[in-house]
Chains A and B, each alone.
Chain A
Amino acid sequence: MRIVNIVLTILIVGLALSPFLIGERFTWHIAILIGIKALLALSLHLMLRIGQLSLAQAGFMGMGAYASALLTRDVGVPFLLGLGAAIAIPALIAWVIGAVILKVRGVHFALLTFVMGEAIVLVFVEFVFPFGGNNGLMSIPTASIFGMTLRSRESFYILVLAVVALSLLVLRIMLHGQSGHILRGLDSNEPLVQSLGIDALAWRRFVFAASAGIAGASGSLYAHYLSYISPEAFNITTTINALVMNVVGGVGAVVGPIVGAIILVPLPELFRTAIAWQQFLYGLSLILLMVFLPRGLVGLLRRLK
């Protein structure tokens, strides 16, 4: 298991650095998209780790995207503060509503978050001020850090890498060590863990908030990269795509969703003609994986070892 992890890590780090060697415009573009989508997949992964399927993740991503876009474009806030708000706002909202909705479990939680996700998108559609309605928001300023504008794709990619690395660090802290024991304990034997003094709801709210924050960061990067956002980018399909990445890579390990993003994001970009086929192939591969390889590719690698 250790060896597989090390090999995978080296492989992923190698792939993450490969755009610097290839240096092509298109490669940068794909690499940036992989990073952004991987963040959303990671945010979903975190919830799956506590046994909850959250279908509101794209909604949180949208909150982050709109918050960051509006603050930098209309209020004139520096990009880093916009990114901070894009993380803090969804996280805070998740933390507050988590006090109530995390008492709901299983199917009901999935339904609840599904409806919430759709409601968030509808809010963007309905309130033309400030969200721009169906047209969305245009001319979102380019990201800039301490006066340095990240106009080139290279520099933006470094930013994306940094955010992904930070998120991985957050996930690592949460899923390993003491916190990991607690979360695993809550998933496998909640009454026991609670009887020893663990405040289960507080821990779940913490995970939900972190998950929403990571999704928000993904949204902020997305908005500043494309400089244009519209509500339909944050509907349920986006959440499902993130779910596909998790299932392809495997939900047992943090590398799972990253592997999933690396495999799945380039496909429609590489085969432009195949865009019509994208959803069909995503769906079909998800079905086949669920039936034949429920632990994902990373799970397969671990078993082969």
Chain B
Amino acid sequence: MSVAQLEVRDVSRSFGGIHAVQNVSFAVDTGRITGLVGPNGAGKTTLFNLITGGMPTTSGSIHFDGHDISGWAPGRVAKMGLVRSFQAAMVLPELTVREHLEQAVLFYHAGTPLALFANRHRRATREEARATAEEVLDFTDLRENADEIAASLPYGLQKILGVAMAIAVRPKMLLADEPAAGLNGAETARMEALFRAVHAERGIALMVIEHDLPMVMRLCDRIIALSQGKLIADGTPAEVRHSPAFVEAYLGSVADAA
């Protein structure tokens, strides 16, 4: 029996009278790929910010691995094994792809100044960073770009690097915010394949916000749908696709947009 890893309990968050997230509850088990979907403004990114962004909840609580992590600083949440990748490609200036992966591991070990300066095994940490970087380069097919400055990579590869850095710190669960946004068909396929491998080969649980519905439906074994801050459907892709609330919220908004 698997233990619930991430549990969102009756969470609400409002900004000056606007209810971005309202009474949302769900639990995500180990070893799943969960998709978080919903029209623009449904509260998906706010929910991610509540989970890993240091944003305090207005009410309700968030638990990970038995700890109440509501309002924890992002760094602390990451140290628990819950790591996030971002909507926009994010890289550090002047570092190569390989250095990015090494730094990801080194950052993970140096959460606080005390952790860095009191670390007696710095040489071992550096070795580990180097080894992990090589291993992740292969795993993510970034080897041929290893010595390029990350900022000069094409957008799609920068986003792959973002996921690669998250993998390098060996999280238990990865929250990916619109991994396919801004990518072309081939890049989306590569990202999708990477996620499958992350899940199947590394046993990392995934939670994905995505607008590319076909991709989410293919990739995920569970879908949680939000609309206007409320949870409107939760189940397998097939169940959610046919749930009336989902159809109304999603297709309704698409119709509005058109």
Please give the residue numbers on chain A whose beta carbons come within 8 Å of chain B beta carbons, in ascending order: 178-179, 181-182, 184-185, 188-189, 191-203, 206
Contact = CB atoms under 8 A, between A and B. Distances in A.
9 contacts: A178-B106, A179-B116, A184-B92, A194-B54, A195-B86, A196-B83, A197-B169, A198-B110, A202-B112
A200 B83 CA distance: 15
Nearest to A190: B74
B139 interface: no
A178 B123 CA distance: 12
B8 interface: no
Contacts of B106: 178, 181
Given A185-B103, A196-B107, A198-B75, A203 B90 contact: no
Contacts of A191: 53, 74, 86, 90
A195 B113 contact: no
Contacts of A188: 92-93
Contacts of A200: 73-75
B108 A197 contact: yes
Main secondary structure, interface of A, reads helix
Contact of A195 (B52, B91, B93, B112): B52
Contact of A181 (B91, B103, B162, B166): B103
Given A178-B116, A184-B92, A192-B86, A199 B169 contact: no
Q: How large is the interface on B (under 10, 10 to 19, 20 to 34, 35 or more residues)?
A: 20 to 34
Contacts of B108: 196-197
B67 interface: no
Interface string B153-181: 00000000010011001000000000000
A201 B84 CA distance: 19
B76 interface: yes
Nearest to A199: B75
Given A195-B84, A199-B76, 4 more contacts: A181-B92, A181-B103, A181-B107, A193-B92
Interface of B: 52-54, 73-76, 78-79, 83-86, 90-93, 103-104, 106-114, 116-117, 162, 165-166, 169
Contacts of A192: 86, 90-92, 162, 165
A185 B150 CA distance: 14
A70 to B, nearest CB: 30
A189 B73 contact: no
Given A181-B103, A194-B78, A199 B112 contact: yes
Nearest to A192: B90
B73 A199 contact: yes
A193 B166 CA distance: 11
A99 to B, nearest CB: 12
Nearest to B52: A195
B85 A202 contact: no
The list of the 10 closest CB pairs from A to B, nearest first, reads: A194-B74, A206-B113, A199-B75, A197-B78, A197-B108, A202-B112, A192-B90, A196-B107, A198-B75, A199-B112
Contacts of B162: 192
Contact of A196 (B104, B112, B117): B104
A178 B85 CA distance: 22
A182 to B, nearest CB: 6
Contact of A201 (B73, B103, B107, B165): B73
A189 B110 contact: no
B230 to A, nearest CB: 27
A179 B109 CA distance: 12
A186 B90 CA distance: 12
Given A178-B110, A179-B116, A203-B112, A195 B78 contact: yes
Contacts of B85: 195
B112 to A, nearest CB: 4
